[in-house]
A and B are shown apart, each in its own frame.
Chain A
Amino acid sequence: MSRVILEVDHLTKAFGGLLAVNDVSFQMYEGEILGLIGPNGAGKTTLFNLVNGVYKPTRGHVRFLGQEITGLPPYEVVKRGLARTHQIVRPLNEMTVLENVVVGACFGAENLGLEPAARVAEEVLAFVGLAEFRDTLAGKLNLAQKKRLEVARALAARPKLLLLDEVLAGLNPAEVERMLGVIRRIREQGISILMIEHIMQAIMSLSDRVVVLNFGQKLAEGRPQEVASDPRVIEAYLGDPEMAKKILEEEA
């Protein structure tokens, strides 16, 4: 087995009395695509926010490549090689697509100057298929393009680990296919990916392993097929497991 790239260790985040993430632990290995799934409100995005430093955990630790990054601010985390995208896209609207990606390159892991950053940005834009929109204001892109811009900005930071938060949500089937291609090619570059996704077909075909969250706790972990047939997971998603089984059998 290859090196551990990310270690989430008994991580807990409380908002008042609500435990949004409750004692979650898992490890991720270099080169792996790890899927993070769970019903709405399970704490997936909160977990991302804890890993990249948007929130400080109430308890627990996050280690990246063996180093403690718990509680570091996001701008430090990204410089160590851990970049992320946002579920609700956050383009820098009044800046061009190219400028958006240059920001990612300038302030990312390599801490580039403006000119080398522009070269990296052009390269990344071509990679995600946004090259023709380089001079468009980011606010004018459609949703699929904004999602690709999110990925481009994160990639421009030259990460070793990429957190993708529902980059497929809201896309039509053709756009989903295109984004899946981008994700596969990112993995081919040797970048590890931790992704939150609701489109099960996509997560099952892409992920090496899957972690399931429910009500802030880790419910299951394993290979996609194992997790998909786990009665607890089916129950979390569909309610009554017996009923769910019946439906699945009828479908088949």
Chain B
Amino acid sequence: MKLLARPFFWLIVAATLVYAALPFWGQNVTLRETLVLSAIYVILATNLNLMIGYTGYVNFGSIVFFGLGGYLTLWLVADHRWGLYPAVLVAGAVTSLLAFLLGIGVLRLRGAYFALATIGINEAVKDFVANFDPWGGAEGIFLPFTAFKAMGGPGKALWTVYLLIVLVMGLSLLVAYLVKRSKFGLGLFAIREDEDAAVVLGVRAPLYKTLAYSLSAFLPAVAGGLYFFKNGSVVPDEAFNLHLSIEAIVMVMLGGQGTVTGAAVGAALYERLRGLLLTIQGLSNFHLVIAGALLLLIILFAPGGLMGWLYRVWPRLRRVLE
């Protein structure tokens, strides 16, 4: 595929650059923090889409990758004096490898059984970490103030981390797009449609599923590392927050599973909606109820999400917005 000749590739590059530049306008720290959260949502949703939308396996516990990435990164930085860059890369690689090994077993399950197993994985890892003394048990890991020094002090470090998170967001979109346009992606979509038929057609489903699961772990783990580094601490309840896992499913379904644009737009829309609900008095803890209702409505009435609806209204869009 001639990547540079594809308009959608340039759309991803342009969107990422604009996104990165936004808060620098007047050094807007509040906007930056909102955009960090939104970017994290896009990363989680886009990578989760590799499983839900591409392969047809609903991963309810995808947040475990984000949390493990956070823990591994902070452990390497705080306890072993690693720099941030090697730490997040190693955290991503280790999480991805763990996902691969886990995937070999858990992906033998299908449908609801797989979904249940993924919840189990997240809860088991959370409980393990909460009782794992080298990682601070329930207290978690706190970064020493000196960790930011190497990056020119906390003020500058936060801006750098912002740019890195946006970079990971851009890479997530790019990976999602490249996979979708590849032979590997074609195999995944065949598995989504009918795994047994795909196997008979020659798709090596056990390997493909496991690779997709492992790939969907890498960038969320890197993002987790960056996010908790920015926060300066990581605790089990925040790192392995099952709510966020389920919200990520809502984002993917809202935007349109199986589409690159859909997962990203769904994540951004959901972040806005959540922000709105949090600021309304009396509704501040209501966003999960809304998320649940939203998921139900989408599955019942618009299983293709926003992009599915747009494609129906305007079929030519399918060729432009992947």
Contacts and interface: CB of A to CB of B under 8 A. Distances in A.
B94 interface: no
A84 B200 contact: yes
A147 interface: no
Interface stretch (A18-26, A33-41, A95-103): A95-103
A94 interface: yes
B189 A106 contact: no
Contacts of B204: 73, 75, 107
Interface string B184-228: 001101101110111111111100000000000000000000000
Given A90-B194, A92-B189, A92-B193, A106 B183 contact: yes
B193 A107 contact: no
B285 interface: no
Interface string B1-39: 100000000000000000000000000000000000000
Contacts of B187: 103, 106-107
Contact of B200 (A78, A106, A117): A78
B210 to A, nearest CB: 14
B123 to A, nearest CB: 32
A107 B189 contact: no
B183 A92 contact: no
Nearest to B200: A74
A67 interface: no
A155 to B, nearest CB: 12
Interface string B96-127: 00000000000000000000000000000000
Chain B: interface residue count, which band? Answer: 20 to 34
B300 to A, nearest CB: 18
Interface in A75-100: 75, 78-79, 84, 86, 90-95, 99
Contacts of B203: 75, 103, 107
B200 A94 contact: no
B182 interface: yes
Interface in B159-203: 182-183, 186-187, 189-190, 192-194, 196-203
B201 A86 contact: no
Given A74-B200, A92-B197, A107-B202, A114 B183 contact: yes
Interface of A: 52, 54, 73-75, 78-79, 84, 86, 90-95, 99, 102-104, 106-108, 113-114, 117, 153, 157
18 contacts: A74-B199, A74-B202, A75-B199, A75-B200, A75-B204, A75-B205, A90-B197, A92-B189, A94-B192, A95-B189, A99-B189, A103-B201, A107-B202, A107-B203, A108-B201, A108-B202, A113-B183, A114-B182
Given A103-B186, A157-B202, 19 more contacts: A54-B199, A74-B200, A75-B200, A75-B201, A75-B205, A78-B201, A86-B200, A92-B193, A92-B198, A93-B193, A94-B192, A95-B189, A95-B193, A99-B186, A99-B189, A106-B187, A107-B204, A108-B202, A157-B201
